[in-house]
């Protein structure tokens, strides 16, 4: 049973394979200059506006389902639909107001989502074109409409349209980690929490009522998010000494993502303040500049440090702290 449950904690392999096939490595690759990022910071709220389209899947597999709320519509009274609408707006706002990005593709694409996808479905996913949310079975999962989860899944769209990261081994773990980072930042920004105030959990409260665990993952303490007779022990490492070599989970993409996750947590807490500002801008800038779909952890660490130097000045205290954070998880650059 534990093996079965752990499989449910991984994202659906078929969905991920389909998303990988739909991801165009040659998709538009947008890079913001440091001056542009500074202008965004100075301007505050952007004039970019989302185009949200929320559908009811009516517990069927077909997507997208029945359109029940479009941009600007009043609340439907359907809790999941209204939560998905509001959460999509917060994700859009993070990328638009903080990083100057116009929707997931940076070209104003509609934010399409389906709630009530299938019956008792233990998953949420980005399929390359839209979001879909199951309701959970009430035992292993009680919901997937938690803001860090919504931010995580929508961030996969940002990654897809920023050049992509192949969904296997270290590049796949980076894909998962970057999605976790922006999922966590969406939540922190929504709650107006500074780095030291956040719990750094991804998926807090989505596990079933009898599951012994707080969340899907912990960026602060990878490996501690859950410990349950049914689910087993959270397998995430925090350091390269504990990197998991496996053929499961596309080479451990949901396991080894704990290492770059922890590096971001360390950097953001060393720096203090609002993690979606300087740390988030560095991660976003690095993603736009990476241009390497097979990037390793070392490649990504190097790119984030280059971005820190570009955005905050060569040899800045921010770049020094970031280098230290990577070293503490076993990646020396």
Token pair listed for 236: 């995430």
Q: Residue 241 carries which DSSP code? A: G
Question: Residue holding tokens 């609340």?
Answer: 75
The residues annotated with a catalytic role in the active site are 153, 254
* 212 neighbors 226 (Cβ within 8 angstroms): yes
Token pair listed for 250: 């596309």
Q: Report the distance separating Cα 263 and Cα 232, nearest Å.
A: 25
Backbone φ, ψ for residue 140 (5° rounding): -80, -40
Q: Report the distance separating Cα 157 and Cα 129, nearest Å.
A: 8
Coil/strand/helix, residue 176: helix
How many CB atoms are located within 10 Å of the residue 191 CB?
Answer: 10
* 240 neighbors 297 (Cβ within 8 angstroms): yes
* 272 neighbors 194 (Cβ within 8 angstroms): yes
What are the C-alpha distances in Å from 213 to residues 139, 141, 209, 221, 302?
A: 13, 11, 9, 13, 34
User: Helices 297-312 and 34-43 sit at what angle, rounded to 10 degrees?
Assistant: 70
Q: Residue 213 carries which DSSP code? A: B
Q: Which residues pair with 191 in a beta bridge?
A: none
* 245 neighbors 252 (Cβ within 8 angstroms): yes
How many CB atoms are located within 10 Å of the residue 108 CB?
Answer: 12
Q: Residue 240 carries which DSSP code? A: G
Q: Report the distance separating Cα 172 and Cα 117, nearest Å.
A: 25
Q: Which residues pair with 66 in a beta bridge?
A: 56
């Amino acid at each position: 049973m534990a093996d079965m449950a752990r499989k449910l904690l991984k994202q659906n392999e078929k969905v991920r394979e389909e998303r990988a096939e739909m991801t165009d490595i040659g998709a538009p690759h947008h890079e913001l200059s440091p001056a542009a990022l500074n202008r965004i910071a100075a301007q505050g709220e952007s004039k970019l506006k989302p185009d949200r389209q929320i559908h009811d899947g009516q517990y069927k597999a077909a997507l997208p389902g029945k359109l029940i709320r479009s941009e600007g519509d009043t609340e439907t009274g359907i809790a999941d639909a209204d939560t998905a609408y509001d959460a999509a707006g917060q994700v859009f706002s993070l990328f638009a107001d903080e990083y100057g990005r116009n929707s997931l593709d940076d070209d104003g694409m509609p934010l399409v989502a389906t709630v009530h996808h299938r019956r008792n479905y233990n998953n949420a996913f980005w399929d390359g074109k839209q979001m879909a949310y199951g309701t959970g079975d009430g035992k292993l999962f009680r919901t997937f409409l938690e803001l860090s989860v919504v931010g995580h899944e929508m961030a996969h769209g940002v990654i897809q349209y920023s050049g992509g990261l192949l969904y296997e081994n270290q590049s796949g773990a980076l894909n998962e980690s970057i999605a976790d980072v922006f999922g966590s930042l969406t939540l922190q920004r929504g709650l107006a929490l500074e780095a030291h105030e956040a719990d750094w959990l991804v998926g807090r409260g989505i596990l079933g009522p009898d599951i012994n665990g707080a969340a899907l993952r912990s960026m602060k303490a990878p490996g501690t998010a859950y410990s349950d007779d049914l689910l087993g022990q959270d397998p995430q490492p925090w350091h390269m000494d504990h990197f998991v070599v496996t053929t499961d989970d596309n080479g451990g993409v949901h396991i080894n993502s704990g290492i770059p996750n922890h590096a971001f947590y360390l950097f953001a807490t060393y720096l203090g303040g609002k993690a979606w500002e300087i740390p988030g801008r560095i991660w976003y800038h690095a993603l736009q500049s990476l241009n390497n779909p097979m990037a390793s952890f070392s490649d990504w660490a190097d790119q984030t440090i280059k971005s820190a130097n570009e955005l905050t000045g060569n040899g800045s205290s921010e770049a020094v702290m970031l280098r230290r954070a990577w070293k503490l998880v076993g990646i020396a650059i």
